[in-house]
């Protein structure tokens, strides 16, 4: 057989398309598998990361399809977002035109790889029908108190007239125009993900063993549950007067109540109301005001890596237990988003507090004594375990016991309460840009904020806009934002903010799980979801470990509570594939090390690209691109095609009746290698994901077949190998299976035969004083005495005339003879 990949691949891709070969069945009594790779952003061309992701998912889908599961394996497009607006500015194209042209091009690229996606379930998240249901979910969340509007400090770019996500701020400047970013207070919409913080944390336990432990740890740390004490710092009388009696106290939260006697100052975030009051009313000298304003312009993310800076606010508070005055500072390391933006500072036992105290020469008071005792002068914060000192009646207690005792003391005396806090913040979902899903609310002078009526959904984007990069064109559209109030019917204004694109990717898997015939009537079908959810195998990069995966888990729980699905966790198993590298670096246009998948397919064929990408490295590891290995993958496939000439009609008709006992050594070895590959296939797809080992086993089987001439063994070998290689090199596998077996092997549940693993003989190494000298073949049932006799006879020239001191037989492995002289 002459191997022509372009001809074979075009043939079968057309066949699959015309026959709808990969559409899931509507038979909900059948066992199912839902295989999903994270959907792509339609950037214009696929890259090798896409190839790896989708070839992995496709291998799973094809394997389970042949195993007679009802398989859902869909693809779609995460199509809203900033890159489309940037392209619109650069190329003077409408974002919609740019996006959907890219989708058309990338769809053809993915098709050329032979990926077995459902064609009928494809959608883009910018489709108005998708937006319609997303807007309904947002309204329902608002009605349930899970979405709200508030003013908060954001990253603001004045030339672009837009809010920037933290990821869009590079070294304090806008990623698009390179202008310094300001911190600006403005209203936005927030999703109350913190209401689900404990459940999101608890349910990580249900994913243990099925998700990478690294991902679980990252989510646990991101949620950041901490137990501690919340109490009130009362302002001194003089401080209240300085603040015009507008403030009398503020609350602080600490996870270290055991160190409370070591407080030497308190610190507030630059955005704290007291700080803002002092600044707005110019109650400090100009240098201090300027310093605070400079701090306020820096994002919380950037402050985390900056040197500790602060300003004395010239006020103080009263220590709740000792009654001592505690000076109050503003500090750049205090975050307004955590613990109310105020901390008690204990420099002796907190690294940040210590650095700040050293910078500004503030007192450092040790209140926990470690194993090395007390220090006259601490050179760094002591954060270890120990017993309390200088802590009045709590001195002598271990710090672990003191935490509980001090919290109890506060609660008994109504000084404070035990509190649980999370690092997780509510999710800000509003963006001041055009190419996103409009937030479905109306602003009415009489009624305030009003959700749109569901019968008026979707609120679609107007297409007659020009993207300039300066502000949100929805704000300046002459007609679009003018509307009637859904509540009172008076003239009103439509909300011009659009949703964060993470919202679209937080429920798309539930949309796939809904029969497309219902898409106009339901956003998520509960009956369909009951069958298809949860996703059995999810595949994507570990860079999505926190935000996307956390938001998807949260959204699933919310839609469950809102009655749309019975699913509570979206993804049963998670596989995070490694990056594709070239010359040791991640492929990127800027590095000039990109390999174009289209060119690989054009030169070698899709099967070669698939085989290489799955063989070059285990899926969770980084993959180093290797041109010679691509050539090697092509040579194996070509050889696999050409060696099919050994398959005879007699072999095809009679291979199922092979008498294993009558076979010679080479024939038995070939069968054993083929069935080892079959065993490996079942293990890889159900347990290990190590596709490289399956391909290696298939190559070994092919090599073993070539050193024997039995036509029945050849036919059986191809019957099995074309079956187990179909998920990896589907085009050639379909061609050979059709040509040789009428594809019967794709419907046949091929069982592993124990007889092929029964060995006629075992090869043992013979070592003399630990050095290998020869090998012997013995019967698997040979006794120790028989093995030693054969070993001594075979190794006569190394032991003759020497004293035999010890004889060791390691079953099925080796014989070691220890001699002297």
Q: Per-residue pLDDT for 83 more than 70?
A: yes
In a domain, 611, yes or no: no
Question: Do 483 and 510 belong to one domain?
Answer: no
In a domain, 131, yes or no: yes
Burial degree of 546 (CB within 10 A; 0-12, 13-18, 19+): middle
Question: Do 363 and 373 belong to one domain?
Answer: yes
- 54-70 tens-digit pLDDT: 999 999 999 999 999 99
Helix (H) or strand (E) holding 577: strand 571-577
In a domain, 395, yes or no: yes
| 428 touches 500 (CB < 8 A) | yes
Q: Per-residue pLDDT for 358 more than 90?
A: yes
Return phi, psi of residue 264, to 5°. -120, -15
Question: Do 670 and 812 belong to one domain?
Answer: no
Question: Do 495 and 517 belong to one domain?
Answer: no
Question: Do 410 and 433 belong to one domain?
Answer: no
pLDDT confidence band for 167 (50 / 70 / 90): low
Q: Per-residue pLDDT for 172 more than 90?
A: no
Q: How many CB atoms are closer than 10 A to CB 427?
A: 20
3-state secondary structure at position 49: helix
3-state secondary structure at position 210: coil
Question: Do 509 and 588 belong to one domain?
Answer: yes
Calculated CA dihedral for residues 47, 570, 611, 672, nearest 10 degrees: 170
- 724-740 tens-digit pLDDT: 999 999 999 999 999 99
Q: Per-residue pLDDT for 746 more than 90?
A: yes
Alpha carbons 241 and 304: distance in angstroms, whole number:
33
- 371-407 tens-digit pLDDT: 888 877 889 999 999 999 999 999 999 999 999 999 9
What pLDDT, on the 0 to 100 scale, is given for residue 396? 96
What pLDDT, on the 0 to 100 scale, is given for residue 722? 98
Q: How many CB atoms are closer than 10 A to CB 351?
A: 11
Alpha carbons 112 and 574: distance in angstroms, whole number:
26
Q: Rounded to two decimals, what is the model's pTM?
A: 0.88
In a domain, 280, yes or no: yes
Q: Find all residues with CB under 8 Å of 363, minimum gap 6, and list them.
A: 264, 265, 347, 357
Mean pLDDT of 4-19: 97
- 408-441 tens-digit pLDDT: 999 999 999 999 999 898 999 999 889 999 999 9
pLDDT confidence band for 72 (50 / 70 / 90): very high
Question: Do 267 and 353 belong to one domain?
Answer: yes
Q: Which domain holds residue 489?
A: 143-192+429-500
3-state secondary structure at position 376: coil
Residue with tokens 């700080």: 275
Q: 691-706 and 606-615 are packed helices; what angle lies between their axes, rounded to 10 degrees?
A: 110
Cis, peptide link before residue 495, omega less than 30° from 0: no
Instruction: Pick from 115-124, 158-167, 585-594 the range whose average pLDDT is largest.
Output: 115-124
pLDDT confidence band for 593 (50 / 70 / 90): confident
What pLDDT, on the 0 to 100 scale, is given for residue 169? 78
Instruction: Pick from 85-94, 559-568, 763-772 the range whose average pLDDT is largest.
Output: 559-568
252 closest CA partner among 463, 417, 492, 76:
417
Helix (H) or strand (E) holding 627: helix 627-642
Q: Per-residue pLDDT for 505 more than 70?
A: yes
What pLDDT, on the 0 to 100 scale, is given for residue 191? 96
In a domain, 13, yes or no: no
Q: Find all residues with CB under 8 Å of 631, minimum gap 6, and list them.
A: none
What pLDDT, on the 0 to 100 scale, is given for residue 157? 85
Helix (H) or strand (E) holding 468: none
Question: Do 589 and 493 belong to one domain?
Answer: no
Count of structural domains within the chain = 5
In a domain, 609, yes or no: no
Q: How many CB atoms are closer than 10 A to CB 373?
A: 8
List the alpha helices (DSSP H) in 413-447. Answer: none
Q: How many CB atoms are closer than 10 A to CB 67?
A: 14
Question: Do 459 and 584 belong to one domain?
Answer: no
Alpha carbons 367 and 346: distance in angstroms, whole number:
9
Query: The CATH number of the domain where 670 resides is what?
Result: 1.10.730.10
Question: Do 73 and 172 belong to one domain?
Answer: no
Q: Which of 465, 485, 500 is the last residue of a domain?
A: 500
pLDDT confidence band for 302 (50 / 70 / 90): confident
In a domain, 552, yes or no: yes
- 657-687 tens-digit pLDDT: 999 999 999 999 999 999 999 999 999 999 9
Q: Which of 500, 516, 546 is the last residue of a domain?
A: 500
Q: What's the chain's average pLDDT?
A: 94
Q: Which of 438, 472, 500 is the last residue of a domain?
A: 500
Q: Per-residue pLDDT for 757 more than 90?
A: no
What pLDDT, on the 0 to 100 scale, is given for residue 173? 85
Query: The CATH number of the domain where 239 resides is what?
Result: 3.90.740.10
Question: Do 181 and 273 belong to one domain?
Answer: no
Query: The CATH number of the domain where 786 resides is what?
Result: 3.10.20.590
Mean pLDDT of 237-260: 96
Question: Do 253 and 369 belong to one domain?
Answer: yes
Mean pLDDT of 111-117: 97
In a domain, 328, yes or no: yes
What pLDDT, on the 0 to 100 scale, is given for residue 293? 92
């Amino acid at each position: 057989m002459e191997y022509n990949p372009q001809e074979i691949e075009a043939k079968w891709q057309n066949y699959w398309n015309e026959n709808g070969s990969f559409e899931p069945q509507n038979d909900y009594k059948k066992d199912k598998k839902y295989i999903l790779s994270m959907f792509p952003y339609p950037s214009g061309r696929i890259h090798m990361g896409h190839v790896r992701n989708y070839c992995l998912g496709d291998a799973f889908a094809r394997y389970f399809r042949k195993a007679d599961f009802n398989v859902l394996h869909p693809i779609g497009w995460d199509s809203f977002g900033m890159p489309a607006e940037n392209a619109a500015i650069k190329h003077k194209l409408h974002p919609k035109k740019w996006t959907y042209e890219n989708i058309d091009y990338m769809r053809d690229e993915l098709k050329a790889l032979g990926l077995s996606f459902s064609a009928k379930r494809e959608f883009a998240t910018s489709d108005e029908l998708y937006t319609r249901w997303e807007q309904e979910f947002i309204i329902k969340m608002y009605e349930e108190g899970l979405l709200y509007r508030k003013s908060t400090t954001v990253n603001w770019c004045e030339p672009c007239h837009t809010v920037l996500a933290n990821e869009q701020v590079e070294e304090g400047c806008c990623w698009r125009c390179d202008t310094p970013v300001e911190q600006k207070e403005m209203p936005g919409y927030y999703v109350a993900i913190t209401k689900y913080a404990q459940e999101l944390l608890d349910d990580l336990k249900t994913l243990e063993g099925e998700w990478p432990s690294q991902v679980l740890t990252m989510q646990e740390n991101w949620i950041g549950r901490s137990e501690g004490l919340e109490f009130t710092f009362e302002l001194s009388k003089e401080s209240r007067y300085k603040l015009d009696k507008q403030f009398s106290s503020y609350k602080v939260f600490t996870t270290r109540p055991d160190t409370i006697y070591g407080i030497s100052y308190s610190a507030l975030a630059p955005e704290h109301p007291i700080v803002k009051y002092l600044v707005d009313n110019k109650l400090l000298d100009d240098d201090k005001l300027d310093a605070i304003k400079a701090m306020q312009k820096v994002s919380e993310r950037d402050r985390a890596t900056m040197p500790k800076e602060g300003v004395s606010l010239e006020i103080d508070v009263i220590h709740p237990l000792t009654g001592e005055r505690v000076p109050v500072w503003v500090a750049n390391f205090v975050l307004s988003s955590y613990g109310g933006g105020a901390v008690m500072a204990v420099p002796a036992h907190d690294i940040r507090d210590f650095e700040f105290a050293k910078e500004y020469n503030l007192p450092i008071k040790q209140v926990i004594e470690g194993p090395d005792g007390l220090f006259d002068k601490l050179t760094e914060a002591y954060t270890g375990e120990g017993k309390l000192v200088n802590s009045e009646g709590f001195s002598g207690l271990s710090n672990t016991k003191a935490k509980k005792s001090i919290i109890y003391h506060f609660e008994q005396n109504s000084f404070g309460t035990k509190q649980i806090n999370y690092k997780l913040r509510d999710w800000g979902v509003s963006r001041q840009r055009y190419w996103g899903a409009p937030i479905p609310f109306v602003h009415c002078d009489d009624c305030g904020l009003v959700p749109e009526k569901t019968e008026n959904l979707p609120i679609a984007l107007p297409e007659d806009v020009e993207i300039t990069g300066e502000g949100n064109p929805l704000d300046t559209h002459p007609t679009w934002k003018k509307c009637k109030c859904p509540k009172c019917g008076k003239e009103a204004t439509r909300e011009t903010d659009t949703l964060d694109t993470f919202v679209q990717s937080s429920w798309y898997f539930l949309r796939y799980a809904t029969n497309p015939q219902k898409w106009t009537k339901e956003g998520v079908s509960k009956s369909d979801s009951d069958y298809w959810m949860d996703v059995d195998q999810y595949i994507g990069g570990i860079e999505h470990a926190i935000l996307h995966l956390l938001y998807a888990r949260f959204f699933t729980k919310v839609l469950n509570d809102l009655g749309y699905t019975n699913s509570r966790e979206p993804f049963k198993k998670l596989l995070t594939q490694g990056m594709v590298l070239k010359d040791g670096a991640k492929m990127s246009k800027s590095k000039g090390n990109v390999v174009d998948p289209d060119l690989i397919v054009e030169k070698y064929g899709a099967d070669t690209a698939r085989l290489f990408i799955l063989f070059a490295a285990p899926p969770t590891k980084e993959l180093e691109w290797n041109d010679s290995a691509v050539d090697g993958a092509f040579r194996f496939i070509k050889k696999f095609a050409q060696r099919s000439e050994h398959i005879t009609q007699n072999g095809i008709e009679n291979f199922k009746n092979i008498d294993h006992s009558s076979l010679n050594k080479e024939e038995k070895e070939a069968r054993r290698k083929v069935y080892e590959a079959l065993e490996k296939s079942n293990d890889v797809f159900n347990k290990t994901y190590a596709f490289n080992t399956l391909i290696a086993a298939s190559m070994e089987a092919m090599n073993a077949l070539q050193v024997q001439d039995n036509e029945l063994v050849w036919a059986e070998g191809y019957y099995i190998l074309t079956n187990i290689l179909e998920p990896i090199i589907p085009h050639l596998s379909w061609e050979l299976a059709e040509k040789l077996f009428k594809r019967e092997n794709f419907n046949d549940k091929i069982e592993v035969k124990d007889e092929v693993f029964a060995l006629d003989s075992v090869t043992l190494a013979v070592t003399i004083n630990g050095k290998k000298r020869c090998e012997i073949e013995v019967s698997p049932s040979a006794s120790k005495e028989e093995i030693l006799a054969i070993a001594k006879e075979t190794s006569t020239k190394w032991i003759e005339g020497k004293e035999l001191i010890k004889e060791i037989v390691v079953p099925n492995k080796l014989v070691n003879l220890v001699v002297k002289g």
